[in-house]
Amino acid sequence: MNANTPEEKAEPKKTNFIREIIDEDLKTGKWDGRVHTRFPPEPNGYLHIGHAKSIMLNYGIARDYNGKFNLRFDDTNPEKEEQEYVDSIIEDVKWLGADFEGRILFASDYFQQMYDYAVDLIKKGKAYVCDLNADQIREYRGTLTAPGKESPYSNRTVKENLDLFNRMRKGEFANGEKVLRAKIDMASPNVNLRDPIMYRIVHAEHHRTGNDWCIYPTYDWAHGIEDSIENITHSICTLEFENHRPLYDWYLDELGVYHPQQIEFARLNLNYTVMSKRKLLQLVQEAKVDGWDDPRMPTISGLRRRGYTTEAMKNFAEIIGVAKRDAMTDIALLEYAIREDLNKHALRAMAVLKPLKVSLIGYPEDTEEVMDAVNNPEDASAGTRKLVFGKELYIEETDFMEDPPKGFHRLVPGGEVRLRYGYIIKCEEVVKDSEGKVIELKCSYDPESRSGTGTSKKKVKGTIHWVNAKHAVKAEVRLYDRLFTVEDPASEENWLENLNPDSLITVNNALLEPSLADAKPGLNYQFERTGYFCVDKKSFAAGNLVFNRTVTLKDSWTKIIKN
Ligand code: ATP
Ligand code: MG
């Protein structure tokens, strides 16, 4: 584990009920002072922000207690898993800064051990091969209020079970023909203990083990063994596994092997999006979005492509904390976390999304003035850049109104406004096309009012951004919004009908200050007064300059920038 930075050490870590358990364990010496956590994704999709919470939690604990953190793929379901998902998960976990010190582990590496353990349970009379089909097993299982009934196969001899299990493994039976079940208690009030399935026959190629196996362990059987083999101390999972804990414990106790402690916490639910991998996969497969990393997806790769930073994800995880009860988290908190971070380091720039031409009356033709613009008012070390001012400019169409409502402090006929870093201008004439659309404003300017150096003491209420008509760079800008129009789309019967039709608005001919022609993926920008943006890395790779809006500015249009 890398040493903490001084800043990390100095900052008191927020505690939570899991850390309290660990503090107690360290006091009593329960795990000989060790702390070892893991993040165990199934490689059946890309990771989402809920997984990020789990990663931050598990890794954060390992880091703060000088422990270890494993990345382990729970690859026990060959029909749904792919190498592409493995690769994306490794990339995402690394990006989140969770240091697994090279320990990329796979459940499939333990298949032989799991098989041997199953044989041990059969020998103890604690597991049997069952020929009931899936429907029958469900029927025999009973309900929450009625006990189940014994399988007619539960009293097979050890010898017969060993033989059948061996033949299951050898591939003598078809999918679904037989299963291996633990022999526990068909009358248990906990349905999970009613002779749960340990192995299924699945004739499918596995992305790592190929055709070595045609029986695959179930989650419950596999998970505790994986934790045990890796010497995990605290096996942290989400609340839906609370009722599975007795089974986790039963397996490890019956095997008599090293036994980590399972602890459950509340999963992250975020409004205006969906988080189930099945639903995310459907969005991708039905092309409702541009792949798993579409900037509207709650996936880590989507958020990264949208311009989210590792720091913002960390802050978000800190803000939401760790609870024992499920709740819905407002997506506004995530937006808050990214704004907080971007405000600190995003480079400021001027970009006009809907250009309206402004020509300055009396400004000499072919004269250009160079102005120094601050790259980041929050960070002097970010330096300054040059802006070139001229006679013909573009401003934002929405910064001009012919019939303004009260309190509109931007440009109006006969009104004055300051151009950021430039002069105070006055709208003298509104030029319209044959359909009455405003196409140009002719404005006078006060030569004494140049920002910073001018002698004029005049003050105006509004400051607006602009670009130079001669030098501006054209680009596509994508404005993203929430993917769904309802708070909890997953609870809607036809959840796909609640997609937000305006979740992506493409602006084709935005005009940017020339410095943005050199913008690169991975940097964050604040287009002044408009929002936070980043270069879309997919388009960039294809040779196109496209900007993604990460998030709007909180007070986008009301804030008046002093200058
Ligand atoms: P599936 O939808 O396929 O069940 P899953 O989202 O539970 O998938 P896993 O790959 O099993 O995905 O999850 C890996 C780890 O991430 C698990 O420990 C799980 O508890 C945790 N996790 C998954 N979703 C969330 C969530 N929304 N909030 C917090 N942790 C989560
Ligand atoms: Mg799961």
3-state secondary structure string across 85-120 = HHHHHHHHHHHCCCCCCCCEEEHHHHHHHHHHHHHH
Instruction: Determine the Cα–Cα distance for residues 200 and 218; give it in Å rounded to an integer.
Output: 7
Report yes or no: 56 and 313 within 8 Å, Cβ to Cβ: yes
Give distance in angstroms: CA of 41 to centre of ligand 2.
Answer: 7
170 among known catalytic residues: no
Q: Which residue's CA lies nearest to atom 26 of ligand 1?
A: 50
Ligand whose nearest atom lies closest to the CA of 46? 1
Determine the distance separating the centroid of ligand 2 and the alpha carbon of 49, expressed in angstroms: 14
Phi, then psi, of 241 in degrees rounded to 5: -95, 5
What values do phi and psi take at 459, rounded to 5? -120, 140
Atom 13 of ligand 1: nearest residue by CA position: 41
The strand order across the sheet containing 463-464 reads 463-464, 416-419, 424-432, 438-445, 355-361, 392-396, 466-468
Give the rounded distance of the alpha carbon of 87 from its chain centre: 16
**Is 0.85 surpassed by the pTM of this model?**
yes
**Ligand 2 centroid to 546 CA: how many Å?**
36
Provide the sign of the torsion angle of the four alpha carbons 277, 279, 283, 289, taken in this order: negative
Residues contacting ligand 1 via CB (< 6 Å): 40-42, 44, 50-51, 53-54, 237-238, 267-268, 275-277
478 and 437 in contact (C-beta within 8 Å)? no
Identify the pLDDT of residue 147. 94
The alpha carbon torsion through 180, 184, 186, 188 (nearest 10 deg) reads -140
d(CA 359, CA 371): 18
Q: Three-state DSSP class for 305?
A: helix
φ, ψ of residue 289 in degrees (nearest 5):
-135, 170
Atom of ligand 1 minimally distant from the CA of 240: 20
Regions of the chain short of the pLDDT cut 70: 1-13, 555-563
> What pLDDT score was predicted for residue 13?
56
Which residue ranges does the chain devote to CATH 3.40.50.620? 2-270
Q: State the ligand closest to the CA atom of 51.
A: 1
Cβ contacts of 424-432, under 8 Å, gap ≥ 24: 424/449, 424/456, 424/458, 424/460, 425/358, 425/360, 427/400, 428/361, 430/402
Which of 34, 267, 279, 538 is flagged as catalytic?
Answer: 267
Distance 52 CA to ligand 1 centre (A): 10
CATH number for the 348-471 domain, one of 3.20.20.70, 2.40.240.10, 4.10.520.10, 3.40.50.1580?
2.40.240.10
Is 42 considered catalytic here? yes
Question: What are the start and end residues of each CATH 2.40.240.10 domain in the chain?
Answer: 348-471, 472-563
Distance 130 CA to ligand 1 centre (A): 30
Does domain 2-270 fall under CATH 3.20.10.10? My reply is no
Atom of ligand 1 nearest to the CA of 269: 27
- The pLDDT value recorded for residue 350 is 98
> Cα of 105 to ligand 2 centre, how many Å?
17
Residues 6+ apart with CB under 8 A from 73: 40, 41, 42, 43, 86, 89, 104, 105, 106, 107, 108
State the distance from the centre of ligand 2 to the C-alpha of 66, rounded, in angstroms: 27
| Best CA proximity match to 557, nearest among 467, 465, 442 | 465
Any residues with CB less than 8 A from the CB of 407 and at least 6 apart, and which? none
- CA-CA distance, 547 to 284, in Å (whole number)? 22
Give the closest ligand to the alpha carbon of residue 47.
Answer: 1
Tell me the CA–centroid distance for residue 245 and ligand 2, in Å.
14
Contact call for residues 315 and 341 (beta carbons, < 8 A): yes
In whole angstroms, give the CA distance from residue 416 to residue 563. 15
The CATH code that applies to domain 472-563 is: 2.40.240.10
How many other CB atoms sit within 10 Å of the CB of residue 170?
A: 10
Residue with the smallest CA separation from ligand 1 atom 1 is 277
Task: Return the ligand 1 atom nearest residue 43 CA.
Answer: 10
Please confirm, yes or no, whether 277 is among the known catalytic residues.
Answer: yes
Ligand 1 pocket: which of 46, 267, 276, 324 to mutate (most atoms within 8 A of CB): 267
Catalytic residue among 53, 72, 183, 277: 277
Give the per-residue pLDDT at 12: 52
- Give the contacts of 31 (CB within 8 A, at least 6 positions apart): 25, 233
Between β-strands 546-551 and 531-535, what pairing exists: parallel, antiparallel or unpaired?
A: antiparallel
Determine the Cα–Cα distance for residues 55 and 317; give it in Å rounded to an integer: 10
- Residue with tokens 């189940």, as numbered in its chain: 148
User: Which DSSP category does 499 fall into?
Assistant: B
Other CB atoms within 10 A of residue 113 CB: 14
Ligand 1 atom closest to 41 (CA): 10
Atom of ligand 1 nearest to the CA of 80: 3
CA of 109 to the centre of ligand 1 (A): 21
DSSP-derived secondary structure letter, 344? H
Three-state DSSP state, 48: strand
Helix, strand, coil percent content, the chain, rounded in steps of 5:
35, 25, 45
**Ligand that lies nearest to the alpha carbon of residue 226, given by its number in the listed order:** 1
What ligand 1 atom has the least distance to the C-alpha of 44?
A: 3
392-396/347-349 β-pairing: unpaired
Residue with CA at minimum distance from ligand 1 atom 15: 41
Contact 191, 142 (CB under 8 A): yes
Residue nearest to atom 10 of ligand 1 (CA): 41
Give the DSSP letter string of 171-230.
T-S-TTS-EEEE---TT-SSGGGSS-EEEEE----BTTTBTS-SEEE-HHHHHHHHHHHT
Of 13, 30, 42, 242, which is the active-site residue? 42
Diameter of the chain measured on Cα atoms:
102
Ligand that comes closest to the CA of residue 322: 1
The string of pLDDT tens digits covering residues 7-47 is 444 455 578 999 999 999 999 999 999 999 999 999 999 99
φ and ψ of 239, to 5 deg: -55, -30
| Ligand 1 mutation target, pool 18, 42, 237, 299, most atoms within 8 A of CB | 42
